[in-house]
Amino acid sequence: MTDLNIYNEDIINLQEKALCVGLNITSTNKRTDNISIDESMEELKELVRAAGAEVVGELIQNRSSIDTATYLGSGKIEEIKNYAEGLNATMVVFNDELSGAQIKNIENIVGKKIIDRTMIILDIFAQRARSKEGKLQVELAQLRYRLPRLYGMGGQMSRTGAGIGTRGPGEQKLEKDKRHILNRAAVIRRELKEVAKNRDIQRVQRQKNDVPIVALVGYTNAGKSTILNEIIKSHPDYESEKEVFVKDMLFATLDVTLRKALLPNKKEILVVDTVGFVSKLPHDLINAFKSTLEEVRYADLILHVIDATNDNSDIQKLTTESVLKDLGVEDKKTITVYNKIDKLDLDIYPKNQEDLVYVSAKKNVNMDKLMNQIQDMLMEDMYKVNLLIPFNRGDVFSSIKDKYVIDSFEYTNEGIDLIVSLNEMDYNIYKEYIKEV
C-alpha cells in the first residue's frame, strides 16, 4: 500500500521568507467577517511566524470582489512577482483559501511557492499535534484540503518535504492516484471512531463518578493553558509535570488535555483545555476536530477565555461563540474570563460580575475569585439538605461521603445527622432522609 505518512519531521535549516498578501473586499455585501483587513493581516503574519517563517513584506489590494482566476487582479500579481523577488522571498502567503487553479495560475506568474491561509494553519497543526488522535485529525484535514486540488496545484504538489505548506501526505504519490487519498481517509476515519469509542467509555466512567467538568474555550493565545496550569495547583495531587505547554504564540498547544482541580469547598472537578480558534478557521479543520471539541458538550460549565489586551477581543469573542453555536452548546452555563489584566491599567476594566471575571493567570490576580465563581455556578443546581440517616443504612452515608463534600455531620441517638449539597438526581434518591425542621 502506498505510504501516506504525514509525520515526517521536517527541519527548516534555512528559514523561509514570506511575503504576506491580502485582499480587502470593498463591497460590503461580499464581506465574510467583521474583522478589518489590517487586523486580519496581522493575524496572518502571526500565523506565518508560528509556522516557522520570517515575514519580510506585506501587500494588500482593494477590490470589489475576488478574481476567480488569480484571486487578485493580473496587474497586482505581476507586482507581487517583482516585490517578492526584491525581498528575496521564498514564498507568498495569501490571506484566504485559494482554489487549486488559483494556486497554479499565481505560481506560473510569480515563480515562487504559493501558500494560502488554510495551508499555513494546517502546517502549524501538523507540527504541533502530539496525541494519536490529534495527528489523525490533522492528517484527515490535510487530505480533505488536498483532494480537490490535486489537478490544479501544479508544481506545488510535486514538492516533497520542502518546508512550510508541504508537510503532509507524500505529494507525488497523491498526484499519481487520488484513490490512495480516499483509502487513507477511510482508514483514518475508522481509527478515529475507535479513539472516540475509548473516549466515550472514559466519559461514561467520569459521569458515573459525578465529577463536574469545566471546559476552557477561546481564541488561540488568549491564555487558556496558563489558566489551566494555575487552576490545577489547587489539587493535592498536583505536580509541575502535569502542567501543559505554554508559549506566547498562536496554537502553542493543540491536543485536548484533562486535569484534576479542587474547588474552595474541596469538591473535585475536571478541567478540559481545548484547541484555540482563529478567524477563518478552515472548515475541514473544524470538522476534523469536532469529535475532540465535543468534550465541551459534556462539560457542566464553560470558561470562555478572552485576551483583555487584544484590540479585536469583541470580534474574537464572536468567533468563539460562533463555533460554540455550531457545537450546539451556546446555551450552556458560561463564565467569560478576561485574561492578561496585568498588562492593563487597573482602572480601565469593569468589576467582576456573576458570569464575568477579570484575571491575570500569569500573575495569579483574581484567580481566587474565578475559582469561587466556578464553585458558585456549579452549585446553582445543587440542593443543600439536612439528612438524618439511620445507623442501619451506613451504606447510604458511605455513598454520599464518597461522592460529595459533606459540610458537617454528627452521630446522634436517632442516626447520622449531616448537611450536604446534592444534585437533583441524588436529591430525589435520598429525599426520604431529609430531616424535618
Q: What is the CATH number of the domain that holds 328?
A: 3.40.50.300
Q: In this structure, are 31 and 108 located in the same domain?
A: yes
Query: Could you say which of 363, 379, 395 is where a domain stops?
Result: 379
Is 342 annotated to bind ligand? yes
Checking if the pLDDT of 251 tops 50, the result is yes
Closest of 180, 193, 220 to residue 133, by C-alpha: 193
Is 162 annotated to bind ligand? no
- pLDDT above 90 covers a percentage of the chain that reads 33
Q: What is the pLDDT of residues 106-126, one digit of tens each?
A: 999 999 999 999 999 888 888
Q: Name the DSSP letter for residue 219.
A: B
Is 364 annotated to bind ligand? no
Is 338 annotated to bind ligand? no
Looking at the domain assignment, is residue 10 inside a domain? no
Alpha helices in 73-178, H assignment, sequence order: 74-87, 100-110, 117-128, 132-146, 171-176
Output the pTM of the full model: 0.73
Number of domains in the chain: 4
Looking at the domain assignment, is residue 188 inside a domain? yes
Is 111 annotated to bind ligand? no
Q: What is the pLDDT of residues 145-197, one digit of tens each?
A: 888 877 555 445 444 445 666 665 555 555 566 788 888 989 999 998 888 78
Is 254 annotated to bind ligand? yes
What residues contact residue 52 under an 8 Å CB cut-off, 6+ apart? 12, 15, 16, 127, 164
| Residue 179 lies in domain | 129-153+170-204
Q: What is the CATH number of the domain that holds 121?
A: 3.40.50.11060
Q: What is the pLDDT of residues 16-65, one digit of tens each?
A: 999 999 999 887 655 555 678 888 899 899 899 988 899 999 999 999 99
Is 177 annotated to bind ligand? no
Q: In this structure, are 118 and 134 located in the same domain?
A: no
Is 313 annotated to bind ligand? no
Q: In this structure, are 354 and 220 located in the same domain?
A: yes
Looking at the domain assignment, is residue 2 inside a domain? no
Is 273 annotated to bind ligand? yes
Is 222 annotated to bind ligand? yes
Is 221 annotated to bind ligand? yes
Looking at the domain assignment, is residue 160 inside a domain? no
* Angle between helix 367-378 and 224-231 (nearest 10): 80
Is 361 annotated to bind ligand? yes
C-alpha cell at 281: 478557521
Is 225 annotated to bind ligand? yes
